[in-house]
Amino acid sequence: MSVEKARIDAEIADTTEQLRTVFEDRMFQNMLKAPNNESSNARRRRTNLADTTTASEVACLLRISERTAHRLVQNSALLVNHYPKTLGALRAGSISWGHATALLHEYAGLPDAAAARLEGTLLPLAESTTVPRLSYRARRLRTQLHPVVLDDRARAASARRCVDFEPADDAMAWLHVHLPATDASAIDARLTHAARALQAPDEGRSLPQLRADILTDLLLEEHLQAAGGPADNAGGEDDRPGRQGAPATAGGYRVRAHINVTVPVLTLLGVDDAPADLEGYGPIPAEIARRLAAHAPSFTRLLTHPESGAVLSVGRTTYAVPADLKNWLRVRDRTCRHPGCSVPASRCELDHTKPWSHQGTTSHDNLAHLCRKHHMLKSEGIWRYDQPSAGVLTATSPGGRTYDCAPEVLLA
């Protein structure tokens, strides 16, 4: 079924681009009446009008939003005209539409030769991994191949930061925030810490609901106080829909978010500008990393071999995981180690791969991060994990299929 869906998606992309070409070449000829030597602005306007018209047509045909249809039009044009290998993989059913759009996102802005190299490297990976994992690897490779240094691109991208509002069904809406990855990661970590601090036996809200409520309260608290709302009632109940019987805000919780940024020592010293690595995201510019380090209240020193990267000092054998080993494992794993899961390690739990009760040790070659869901699946005996070598997990599914999962630091 998934293979057939991918083939259908490829045909939709092909047909969408054909339709866009028809609109561009025929429908706008009489309207624009541009001469043969038309300006680049006129050509761009014609293309934009063709995209918009095609999107409105496709939205009606497929009964999707025009926003979604516009993305389909743009992605279809790229696949058909610039990345036929990616379109071919989609048509063959070896990748999904999600993989294809993730790849297109990473190709954007690269010169043709660099984009072709990235496509050749990522397509085999796309055929064997999930979209989140693919996107994570792609960001790292794109940074290496891009001719413009990451610091310059980050400064230009920061100028495009914005907040976007998208209506949704049932009196709901999406609020999309595009901002530097360091700020986004810190905000995400703070929301999670504050939400977990509010969890209690009598708290009926889920973690995602608490995160959303805290964000809302932090932004609207002044408005609520002015209106005599819940923020005025210390210890009172929130009378907004779905939030009864719980503290209205997280105002009493002052959480300093903690995120890991792995900075090469030569970058930190200013000798070179090799990118640092932001936990759960990927490469960030050296300039930003040095600025973060300059304001960091403390450092955690992780001793590793200068060539192999192997940890030199983790010789602990107690059940409780020592703090320095916890820090190192968080840097090593970066995400939940279940195949395809991209939950950051900071939101996961450390698990003894071979249980302590079965003579398992508390060491780097018997510990790995699992998110709460996959930790529960392991505890219930639904998924099984082995660690044949340090850091490399073999996950066995309920149906008996096995997946080898190496951490990103070993794949880089």
Backbone phi, psi, residue 381, to 5°: 80, 15
Q: Is 341 in the same domain as 269?
A: no
Indicate whether 301 belongs to any domain. no
Could you give the dihedral angle defined by the CA atoms of residues 54, 57, 13 and 41, in that order, rounded to the nearest 10 degrees? 10
Last residue of a domain, one of 99, 120, 148: 148
Indicate whether 132 belongs to any domain. yes
Q: Is 291 in the same domain as 374?
A: no
Q: What is the DSSP letter of 146?
A: -
Q: Is 286 in the same domain as 362?
A: no
Task: Find the DSSP H helices in 63-164.
Answer: 66-81, 84-92, 97-107, 112-126, 131-145, 150-158
Q: Is 40 in the same domain as 134?
A: yes
Q: Is 62 in the same domain as 6?
A: yes
Q: Is 365 in the same domain as 328?
A: yes
At 298 the pLDDT is 64
At 233 the pLDDT is 39
Q: Is 276 in the same domain as 367?
A: no
How large is the C-alpha radius of gyration of the chain? 25
Indicate whether 242 belongs to any domain. no
Q: Is 135 in the same domain as 10?
A: yes
At 228 the pLDDT is 46
Q: Is 11 in the same domain as 120?
A: yes
- pTM of this structure: 0.60
Indicate whether 392 belongs to any domain. yes
Q: Which portions of the chain are predicted below pLDDT 50?
A: 32, 223-237, 239-242, 244-255, 303-305, 308, 310-317, 411-412
What CA–CA distances, in Å, run from 379 to 49, 329, 387, 403? 56, 21, 16, 18
Indicate whether 45 belongs to any domain. yes
How many structural domains compose the chain? 3
Last residue of a domain, one of 251, 278, 295: 295
Tell how far CA 86 is from the center of its chain: 21
Backbone phi, psi, residue 355, to 5°: -55, 145
Last residue of a domain, one of 295, 313, 338: 295
Q: Is 383 in the same domain as 272?
A: no
Q: Is 266 in the same domain as 404?
A: no
At 84 the pLDDT is 93
d(CA 383, CA 363): 22
Indicate whether 195 belongs to any domain. no
Q: Is 143 in the same domain as 6?
A: yes
Indicate whether 221 belongs to any domain. no
Indicate whether 190 belongs to any domain. no
Range of the domain at 128: 2-148
